[in-house]
Homo-oligomer: A and B are copies of this chain.
Amino acid sequence: MLSIYDGALEELIYQLGRLPGIGPKSAQRIAFHILGSSAEDTEELVQALRQVKEHVHFCEVCGNVTENERCAICTDERRVKNTICVVAHAKDIQAIEATREFRGLYHVLGGLIDHVGGVEEKDLRVRELLERLYDGTVEEVILALDTSVNGHATMLSLSRILAPAGITVSRLAVGMQAGSEVDFADEISLGFALEGRTVISE
């Protein structure tokens, strides 16, 4: 989009436009909102951005977000310890939790296998997942991955790797829309998909 702005306003519109889901029109709208809002409001946003960078990192066990060594789910005594739900990204945990259908633990892979983009099994937190299965507590691993080509490739790879562990491996029911992302599914569909998950091997 042709821009008549220069200096600080153009820079802010550029920086906002780099964020996911924010196009040139939205970036301009937000920049003008910032311009018209109080200095205190803007400073609150600035501090929130910095605090996240300073204090939030990933749980050393499951890879979920936390401000401590272990996340709120891993340290919650009420969670069921015999089931691990494997997700691609930490943000997918929020979507699964919203269904209120799952009371076990999580494991974040940190992505999906992507043969085109050069992401292989070794680039994901697969070894960390296997380590969590050693003590025999875990009886089922649910693969809650996108129903995309990469999600499917990751599911096949993981089910092959997990086969010798002698545990139940399941995946989300095909009740999700084909080609959709876990992160964007509505909580009812995602709840059905969890409830009707399909056993791959046991």
Contact = CB atoms under 8 A, between A and B. Distances in A.
Interface stretch (A17-25, A127-135, A158-166, A167-175): A17-25
Copies of this protein chain in the complex = 2
A1 interface: yes
Interface in A21-48: 21-22, 25-26, 28-35, 39, 41-42, 44-46, 48
13 contacts: A5-B65, A7-B67, A8-B67, A12-B48, A15-B48, A16-B45, A32-B89, A32-B90, A32-B91, A34-B49, A35-B56, A42-B49, A46-B49
Interface string A95-110: 0011000000000000
B15 A45 contact: yes
A6 to B, nearest CB: 7
A104 to B, nearest CB: 14
A34 B91 CA distance: 12
